[in-house]
Each structure stands twice: as C-alpha cells, then as structure tokens.
Amino acid sequence: MAIVDLLERNSKLYGNEVALVEINPEVHEDRPVFWKEYELIQPTSKTFYRREITWSVFDEKANRVANLLISHGIKRGQKCAILLMNCLEWLPIYFGILKSGAIAVPLNFRYTSEEIDYCLQLADVDVLFYGPEFIGRVENIAYKLRDKMLFYFVGDSCPDYAEDYFRHAGNASSSAPKVLIEGTDLAAIYFSSGTTGFPKAILHRHSALMQSARMEARHHETTHEDVFLCIPPLYHTGAKMHWFGSLYSGSRAVLLKGNTPESILKVVSTEGCTIVWLLVPWAQDILFALDRKELSLSDFQTSQWRLMHIGAQPVPPSLIKRWQGYFPNQKYDTNYGLSESTGPGCVHLGMENIHKVGAIGVPGYGWETKIIGEDGQEVAQGEVGELCVKGLGVMVEYYHDPEATAEVMDGEWLKTGDMVQQDADGFIYLVDRKKDVIISGGENLYPVQIESFLSAMPKVHDVAVIGLPDPRLGEIAAAIIQVKEGMECTENEINHFCLDLPRYKRPRKIIFADVPRNATGKIEKPKLREIYHATRLVDEQSKQ
C-alpha cells in the first residue's frame, strides 16, 4: 500500500469533511492570500486569517499537481523539490508529486542560496515549487539551473524564469492520474547532516511512510474525531510524520503559522484541538506566560485537549511536572527518531508511561532496538552503547553516498550515532551523541559551518563551537574564540560579524579562551564541554 492510497480513501469516505485548516495570526492587509480556487483575495481585518480545504478538494489539488507534472514529461523516479512555508498548498503539492510517481524532496526553509543549490543538485531535482519568501534566494541560483530545471512559483507576480503554479495547476485535470504506485516505490528524499554540515539526501520508500502513519495513529490512539495542531515546518519529518496520524484516521489538522503562547492556546480553543505536538521552548513559553499571569487558562477552552507530546530534543522532567500542574487531565508522550528512520517514533515513551519521564522510551510500533558497544556486540543491560534500530521505516540509503550509507547501515540495522543505556524495565535513556550536532530548539546546528564562518573574521586565530545546556532551548551554540596574538576583540564585535549568519545559527554565548587541539590537529571538544558545561549549569542555577 502506498501513502497516496490513504488520501484517495479519505476523499471517498470523508470527501465533504475538512481535512486541513491554515491559520495565520499575523495578517498583512497589503499581502494577497490564495484561496482554494486559485483566486486572489485580500484580508479585511486584523483577526486571525483562516483557510480550509476538504478531503475531496485536497485530493483534487494533488491530482492537478500530478497531471501537471506528467504533462511536462516528469516520470517515475524523477525528483521534485518543495521550498514553501507551511500553507494549504504544501501537502497537496507533496501528494501530487507522489501521485505522479516522482520523488518528493522537501527543503528546509532556512537554507541559504548555496545550501538550496547544493541540495537540488545532490538530489538530481528536475522541478522546484517555491514560494514568495524565497524569491531572492532562488534568483541567486536560477540562472545556472533554469536550463535543466523547471521552476514553479507558488505566489503572485511570477518571476520571468518561473512558471505560474496557480495558473497552470488550475488548468490541469483534477482526475486521478493513471499511475500505479506501490509500497515498494521510492517516495521521498529528506535532508539531514552530520558534524561537517554537508547535507545527506535520505531516500525513503512509500512503505516507510505508511509505517510511520500506522505507528503514529497507534501510538497516540488517533481517531477520526481528533483535531491535530501542527506548528513545526512540514519539510521536517517530525511535523509531517506526526500529521500522518491525521491522514491515517481521516481526521482534521490545523496548520498554525506562529508559535506564541497566546496563538497556540487560542487556536486550541477555537478549533477544538485534541492533540498538540510542541517543542520544549514552546511548552516553556506557555508555562512562563501562565506563571506570570500574562495568560489565563480560564480564557480558553482546553478541556478537549487530551494529548501533548514533545520530540526533537531531550525533555526536562521538571517541565512535564510543571505542565501537569496546569493540565492535570492531559496525557503526555515523547518521541525519539531521526530522518533516517522516517522521523519520530522508532522509540517512544508511551502515553501510559509518564512515570518514566526522562527516558526516550521503548521500541515503537513495528520497531526493534539494540544497544551495541565499539565491537558491534550488544552491551549488558545498564551499560552505555550506541542505539541501533530496525523496522520498515529505515531509509533505503543516503542517495549518491554509498560510503556514508555503509557507515550507518549494518544489514537491516540503522546505527543512530546516539549513546544510550537501558534500565531494568527496558526503558532507554539518551546519554550523549556521538556526533557534535547541536540541537537547539529542535533545530540542528552544525558546528563546522559556524566555525568556518567565524574563522574568516580577521581578529580570530582559532575557533571551536560546542553545545551548552539551556533550560529553554535544550542546547545553545557557544563559540570559544582564540584571538590573534596582539589583538583585542569584544563580544559585540563577534556578534556584529555574525549578523551575516542566519539568526538561528548565530552563537548565543561567546567565550574568549584558547582552543585546545590534539596531536593530529583535531579540536578537543570533549575537553571544552567538560570545562564549560559545568560553568553553564552553575550560571543557570544561580539565576533560578
């Protein structure tokens, strides 16, 4: 069974029921908004702007995209990328690509022009769908790609090198394309990256996406009556695979543009949301707003909100204890996963196991786990080792990278690179990561990229970037700067230099000190973490 079969089933069973709702708390009156029939309308008030589509319209839109691609000669196995902010167009385009037999390639909306270019070429992309937020970045690379790629602009005032998506999709047939899609067919490429910062293209089959949908619905007992609130970006496996629970059950989902405490609680209240996936910072922001009495739960309808779950980073047990104080009747779950395992859920806590908060959990539905030592053999219970997972959600390969594939695949087992240990009850606890990736607010930061940028500053002799613990974001990037001899440098100078970095990549702490390297020239990051982790924890405790 292919993932597109679920959409077609929902269209038949629940055709007139709402499938997706898009809500934008920040309406700009001078910016047109696209309605479901491809006409432009202007918002007329400063209230939350809301759009919705039914399951039948969702399916028809996907069919139009598929037929549009087929009319341009796109064949099974070719690649079509998506570079959009969350919107009602995102998922119909994704499913239209899949219905055509092509492979969907979601792109991180934070990518620079250089990163977009790299990923498009690595994945052999033939078509790019992109929105108005990315005009500048795409224009920077379009001149060298337009002869071998087709650009579809999902917005108003289409650039001259691109095709108008709304006009062409609106003219395409809404009938289902005559393309047989099976579970063994290739479906999607998602991008990940190691400590070097160079993205890897993770290839998945339809069967992996189906496994994720079944698992999500089972883990969170999703029914047709549930309403899922989706806030994170849809390019991320975490957001999409959690939404797959709604797809599997044919239930409604709300795409919220914004993550302020007030907007989250207001949408939960007005839309009757029952399941909400949060990142740690968002949950903490809600708690802080309630603690400071900036918001009152009595102003919102939250009795139907039955489940809050968190993923993408370690969850402090104290956070969940505070959360239960405000929401005592809610269930809680946490999910562990990686893009190579089709996102979250290969390990999960389980709604019935809140007494084990702090653990990442037990093997998810349809998954097996083992913990191995450096020799590749399973370690004894309680010993620290590398987590390995096996199941239908494991990737096919790193596309165009057999060496990297061989490093993480051992037969059917995927080595996660995460160091864990298991307690006597079988619950797995994350101990540390083999990789140096910093997870800050659910986003991966790659130290080498930041180090490379900072090394170009004239006053910098050497630099190392490590993650330091942070109560809100999980981790923050800290830059240890070794200034050139005879020069002086201030924190303000470093911060000003970093303005050319995307905001989420800028170091949040600057430390002026020597950068230790070993005999082979490698930065001794374990030593740096040992020195500065303890200092950071003391600093945070002193603030409390």
CA distance 406 to 412: 11
The predicted structure's pLDDT at residue 520:
44
235 and 97, same domain (yes or no): yes
Residues with Cβ within 8 Å of 24's Cβ and at least 6 positions away in sequence, in order, are 48, 49, 50, 257, 258
By the 8 A CB rule, do 532 and 511 touch? Answer: yes
164 and 191, same domain (yes or no): yes
Q: Name the nearest CA neighbour of 8 among 82, 87, 106, 98.
A: 98
Tokens describing residue 137:
């970045």
Q: Classify residue 523 by its DSSP letter.
A: B
The predicted structure's pLDDT at residue 313:
64
pLDDT averaged over consecutive 10-residue blocks of the chain (544 residues)?
96 98 73 41 56 96 98 96 96 98 95 92 97 94 91 94 95 96 97 66 97 96 97 90 97 94 96 93 88 94 95 75 93 93 93 90 96 93 93 96 96 92 93 74 79 86 89 91 91 94 91 78 78 66 52
Coil, helix or strand at residue 365? coil
Q: Is residue 268 part of a domain?
A: no
Q: What is the pLDDT of residues 167-192, one digit of tens each?
A: 999 999 999 999 999 999 999 999 98
For the chain, give percent helix, strand, coil, nearest 5: 35, 30, 35
Instruction: Name the residue range of residue 395's domain.
Output: 307-433
422 and 509, same domain (yes or no): no
423 and 456, same domain (yes or no): no
pTM over 0.85: no
Q: What is the pLDDT of residues 258-281, one digit of tens each?
A: 889 999 999 999 999 999 999 877
The predicted structure's pLDDT at residue 434:
67
Chain center to CA of 20: 19
Residue entry with tokens 């160079």: 198
Number of domains in the chain: 3
The predicted structure's pLDDT at residue 482:
92
Q: Is residue 288 part of a domain?
A: no
159 and 231, same domain (yes or no): yes
Q: Residue 451 sits in a domain of what CATH number?
A: 3.30.300.30
